[in-house]
Amino acid sequence: MSEEDQLEEEEEEAEEEELSDEQKKEIAKWFLTHAPAGEIQYVAKDVRSLLFNEIVYGMAAEEAFPLYNKAHMVSLPMPNSSGDVLITTFGELSENEYLDPRTAQVATVDHVKQVCTNVRPATDEELPSSYIEDFRGVEPTVSYDAVFSYGFSMLFHSYVGSCPLDAEIIKYVGEAYPKGVCAVYCSKGKDVEGPGSDFELAVVISAARHSPQNFCNGSWRSIWKIKFNDEMRTMELTGSMQVGAHYFEEGNVQLDANHECKDSTAFQAPDDCAISIASIISHHENEYLASLEGSYSNLPDTTFKDLRRKLPVTRTLFPWHNTLQLSLNRDITKELGTGK
């Protein structure tokens, strides 16, 4: 084979190995969705420059950012200064619209820019019944800023106070999580009008601590699903907690921990239910946080040791129990024969 034919064959093989735009998009999407808490914009900047293809990047970003925002339960301030809306599947009404149950508003979001661009009053069909609101909902007090923004129709749609469960969760999150954001959604049975039927609520808590200037970011996310069983007069709680942390000063260390638990209590009046649910959530989350702190304190004696090989090349165990018996200077001096 001539040198010319060989070069042509190599070029053909290189062309065959070239990734398609679809493959590039999927790889870019993976990097974006797996970005640590609060760092997707930094990852997006790098991915964009590596792809050098705005069309492929645009397709990847359009698919990845909504997934990332919902997975990390990102909170975005609403433009009318009425609070933050959480980006979760529980409040998702359409691709770019999310319900804020506390203020009975629907926020329109730009997922890629991670901003809320508009808000509107929620319709009656988008809100739970008054019976469900007795357990989840809000007191019908009026936001005058909202009335000024939307007209007197807000009198029938806007609620800015809080009632049983929402109030208890706000109180708990305010004490437990600095900069924490929470919401209580009706995830099933929002049209139930009175006793005799089952329904479900979902408590969502999201807290983040972003400090890229100090090379660290972290987040806490917990979801509590509460099933109200009318016939058995019980409430069943299923909790899912997730902690993420990223330290990247002269290295790259990530923590991704998950924990799930279950509990139950009696189905009571709305006020009593709220207190019981908040107490159970507080108990389990504090217990999990305490276990994490215990794990951190044991890292030097457990995890860090396991990172080393069990036996070094000398086939002699390292004396962790008495490291003071070793003297590097003494051993080197003896080996080189420079000592007395």
Q: Do 216 and 157 sit in the same domain of this protein?
A: yes
Q: Is residue 202 part of a domain?
A: yes
Q: Do 212 and 142 sit in the same domain of this protein?
A: yes
Q: Which domain holds residue 217?
A: 72-303
pLDDT tens for each residue of the chain, 340 residues long:
666 666 666 666 655 578 899 999 999 999 999 999 999 999 999 999 999 999 999 999 999 999 999 999 999 999 988 889 999 999 999 999 999 999 999 999 999 999 999 999 999 999 999 999 999 865 444 343 443 343 433 333 334 444 589 999 999 999 999 889 999 999 999 999 999 899 999 999 999 999 989 889 999 999 999 999 999 999 999 999 999 999 988 788 888 999 999 999 999 999 999 999 999 999 999 999 999 888 877 776 766 666 656 666 676 766 666 655 556 666 666 666 655 5
This prediction's pTM: 0.78
For the domain that residue 40 is a member of, what is the CATH number?
3.30.1140.60
Query: What integer pLDDT is reported at residue 178 of this predicted model?
Result: 85
Alpha-carbon distance of 97 to 307, in angstroms, equals 46
Last residue of a domain, one of 42, 67, 92: 67
The β-bridge relationship of strands 253-266 and 234-247 is antiparallel
For the domain that residue 252 is a member of, what is the CATH number?
3.90.1150.210
Tokens at 41, concatenated: 């914009």
Q: Please, is 198 exposed, middle or buried when counting C-beta atoms within 10 Å of its C-beta (0-12, 13-18, 19+)?
A: middle
The DSSP string of 319-334 is: -GGGGGG--HHHHHHH
Query: What integer pLDDT is reported at residue 151 of this predicted model?
Result: 40
Query: What integer pLDDT is reported at residue 328 of this predicted model?
Result: 61
CA distances, 38 to each of 43, 54, 56, 67, 74 (Å): 10, 23, 23, 14, 9
Residue in this structure with the two tokens 């457990």, named with its chain if needed = 302
Instruction: DSSP letter for 124, please.
Output: G
List, as own/partner pairs, every contact residues 108-114 make where C-beta atoms lie below 8 angstroms and the sequence separation is at least 24, other chains included: 109/69, 109/76, 109/85, 111/62, 111/65, 111/66, 111/69, 111/87, 112/61, 112/62, 112/65, 114/41, 114/65, 114/69, 114/74, 114/76
HSE (side-chain half, CA atoms, 13 Å) at 159? 23
Tokens at 166, concatenated: 């929402």
Q: Do 48 and 187 sit in the same domain of this protein?
A: no
Give the closest residue to 205 by CA, choosing from 235, 225, 188. Answer: 225
Instruction: DSSP letter for 161, please.
Output: S
Helices (H), ranges, 256-327: 270-298, 303-306
Q: Is residue 1 part of a domain?
A: no
The alpha-carbon radius of gyration of the chain (Å, integer) is: 27
CA distances, 145 to each of 127, 128, 152, 162 (Å): 21, 23, 11, 17
Q: Do 127 and 269 sit in the same domain of this protein?
A: yes
- The three-class DSSP label of residue 263 is strand
Q: Do 55 and 132 sit in the same domain of this protein?
A: no
Q: Do 247 and 177 sit in the same domain of this protein?
A: yes
Q: Do 175 and 194 sit in the same domain of this protein?
A: yes
Last residue of a domain, one of 32, 51, 67: 67
Alpha-carbon distance of 18 to 6, in angstroms, equals 19
Tally the domains of the chain. 2
Torsion of the alpha carbons at 49, 54, 56 and 57, rounded to the nearest 10: 50
Q: Do 137 and 59 sit in the same domain of this protein?
A: no
- The three-class DSSP label of residue 258 is strand
Strand ranges (E), the chain: 75-77, 84-86, 97-100, 105-110, 115-121, 181-188, 199-211, 216-229, 234-247, 253-266
